[in-house]
Structure 1
Amino acid sequence: MGQLPVIVLVIAMVVGSEAQNIGTKCRKDKREGVCIKIESCPSLLTLLRQIRSGSAPSGSLNELRRSLCTFITEPLVCCTSFSSAIPPRPDGPQVSGGSLLPSQCGVSALTDRIIDGEDAPLLAWPWMVLFAGTKNSDGGFIFFCGGVLISDRYVLSAAHCFKSSNNIRQVVARVGEHTLSTNPDCEGGRCAPTPQDIPIERVINHPDYQRGCRSCNDIALIRLSRPAVLDVLFVVPICLPRNPVQDLGFSVQQYRGKLGWAAGWGLISRDSRQSLRPDVLQQVQLPIQDSADCQRRTSSNPNPNSVLCAGGDGRDTCRGDSGGPLTLGSTLNSRTYVVGLTSHGPLECGTPNTQGVYTSVNYYVDWIISNLQP
């Protein structure tokens, strides 16, 4: 979520209007055009990039608003320069199960603990998932980890969240949550649907979890017992970086040095003796980089490309944030991609000159897709 996806800031202007499918004819400013993805329309893609960079001329956002055809399945624009439009980018190499991933993903209507974070806007994280269950000891209902929706039936999270030693039963995935104490969640006159508590059908931990080191291959694919009800504003799957250069506009090696976003409802106090949890989903921007602390924490991992490190400036995720996403925004379009999953970090979260370790999603994309089922 490095930059807010400008095109969907105007989503409210088109929801409820007549939907148009990709390839249908349209008119804008008395000129005929065709409804296509914005990345296939050079003139409007250039305009979007100028808006993002702050170099666009006055009235550009209104120009983009007038160009929107629909947002029912994905944002399409009325491109009047279609004759010179760039052909849509081909997808990355197809892997078994890839057809089960949604074509509409990673678009928000804004485009252990979060340390020095902030309340997330209501519309910013429509792919967030919160796991809850009961403890054997007292049967109390607890929230224990985060996750990220990648389709209406599957969620990514951390394998360590679902160890049998955790003694958590009757696990449900809460989809569409934002503020724990309120229902519905409302902001700026707009209210979200009631969160969905969906039982877990199956947890697929990576077969090599903890092989090689205690935190190795810390990733799990969770299949829901029924599909989540998607909502164009409040429940949207995030995108997987199947081909980072084509999807994000840069390689995995170039993740380092960029600012990613993490989110969760984990602990927010720097004092490990206090279990302070937020009521509102927290978000924090973290630099992705390899520090000496990162190298020390990942030295026992035989696959250094399987993890990312982020933080180091006193901001951090912590207990309860595990499994939640670390995201980056594409430089090519308005989509957001999950590049990491919160795995582990220092004993005292947010300690200066320390970093959190995140499972690198790109490293496991083939494994994820191979385990998707209808």
Structure 2
Amino acid sequence: MKLSQVGAFLATLTTFACGYSFSDFSKASDLPAANTDLDESTELKTDEEERIIGGLEASIAGFPYAVGLYSKHFDLDNFYFFCGGVLIAPQYVATAEHCTMITDTYVSVGAQYAARPRKNNGKRIRVVERSRPIYKNGQSFDIGLLKLETPVTDQPVRLCAADGSDNEVGTMGTVLGWGKTENSTSSFSMRSVDVEIISNRKCSTYFDSEITDNQLCAGTGNGKNACTVDSGGPLVVDDVLVGIYTGSKSCSKKPGIYTRVGSMLDYINNVVTYGINETNSRNARRST
């Protein structure tokens, strides 16, 4: 991939709803070597930039709803992994809104190694439609839904209750994603880390911007967190989806910020039930 193409790819993904950015992604053909060249746009060192920090390898059999997103957008010879996601229905994946900006997106389902789905009994399925929620009263939401070309038989995640009972302060949740390990090598095996859900008030003390009611935070900056390429991945409590990872600053030192799924249930259920259309999606369109 040419440097100019890399720059264009990164520019597409660089800014999202929380005001934070991520800069790196990874090529399937590079595995298992680390990609250490692309650390231009964040304050983190490359070895901190992509990983589930402080986590452990997790089996996809235990979390069959965890998926990876990748694209051939700028290089027809290689797939580039760029975000996580979560299967919410046989034909729908939830991710961060900023992860829906790339055309020619594919989803790996049932794969321990997201960038090599066909080599470990996984599936690679093309995204045919993308949905972003319609903003109301000036509010924005870093969540988007992707429709798969064909339904899958893998077990979707369960959605949380609207009353917040699944994600009360002090509850321990599990973040899932793919990325570099502590020694900066790219195994790309799925990883998990357990983090504590904290109050928005406490979370806001770590950041300059307000944490809204549509967001929740987990982790306390104790060296355990999701990070950049984990964007779009799920925060689950006992296999119940409570958050979609949207970002952080200084991932190992500050909490992770998530879209609060309980605030988005009407949107999610509308899209899954009626399909992606102009009444439930902003700029609804088919993928190309």
Residue number in structure 2 paired with 1:175: 109
Q: Distance in 2 between matches of 1:120 and 1:316?
A: 15
State the Cα distance separating 1:319 from its structure 2 match: 1.3
For the pair 1:338 / 2:241, whether they are aligned, the reply is yes
The answer to whether the 8 Å contact 1:117/1:315 transfers is: yes
Cα deviation, residue 349, structure 1: 2.0
Percent of paired sites with the same residue? 28
Whether the 8 Å contact between 2:200 and 2:216 is mirrored in structure 1 is: no
The alignment yields a C-alpha RMSD, in angstroms, of 2.8
Q: What residue identity is the alignment partner of 1:350?
A: S
Q: Following TM superposition, where does structure 1 have runs of at least 4 consecutive aligned residues deviating by more than 6 angstroms? A: none
Structure 1 residues 259 and 242 mapped into 2: Cα distance closer, same or farther (>3 Å)?
closer
Aligned 1:144-183 pairs, distance under 5 A: 144-163=82-101, 168-180=102-114
Q: Which residue of 2 aligns with 1:310?
A: 218
Question: Deviation per CA, 1:91-116, whole angstroms, max 9, x where unpaired?
Answer: xxxxxxxxxxxxxxxxxxxxx52001
| Deviation for aligned residue 1:300 | 4.2
| Cα deviation digits, residues 318-346 of structure 1 (max 9, x gap) | 111111100012xxxxxx21000010101
Q: Which residue of 1 aligns with 2:134?
A: 207
Aligned equivalent of 1:359, options 243, 248, 259: 259
Following superposition, the deviation at residue 135 of structure 1 comes to 3.5
Question: Secondary structure in 1 aligned to 2:268?
Answer: helix
- TM superposition score normalised by structure 2: 0.69
Three-state SS of the structure 1 residue aligned to 2:243 is: strand
1:17-56 mapped onto 2 (5 Å cutoff): none
Q: String of CA shifts for 1:14-33, please: whole Å, max 9, x gaps.
A: xxxxxxxxxxxxxxxxxxxx
Unaligned runs of 5+ in 2: 1-49, 276-288
- Displacement of 1:290 in angstroms is 2.8
Contact 1:158 1:341 in 2 (8 A): yes
1:131 aligns with 2:50: no
Distance of 1:279 and 1:371 partners within structure 2: 31
Aligned residues: 223
Deviation at 1:122, TM superposition (A): 4.1
Match of residue 259, structure 1, among 146, 149, 172: 172
Match of 2:18 in 1: none
* Counterpart in the other structure of 1:101: none
Match of 1:350 in 2: 252
* Cα offset, 1:291, TM superposition: 7.0
1:136, 1:169 within 8 Å by CA — same for their partners in 2?
A: no
Q: Take 1:278 and 1:319, find their aligned partners in 2: how far apart are those partners?
A: 16
> How far apart are 1:280 and its partner, in Å?
1.1
Instruction: Quote the offset at 1:267 in angstroms.
Output: 3.6
Q: Which runs of 5+ in 1 are unaligned?
A: 1-111, 186-193, 245-249, 330-335
Q: Which residue of 2 aligns with 1:71?
A: none
Which structure 2 residues correspond to residues 245-256 of structure 1 after superposition, within 5 A?
251=165, 255-256=168-169
Q: Is the 8 A contact 1:266 1:317 kept in 2?
A: no
Query: Do the aligned partners of 1:266 and 1:277 also contact (CA within 8 Å) in 2?
Result: yes
Structure number with higher relative contact order (C-alpha < 8 Å, ≥ 6 residues apart):
2
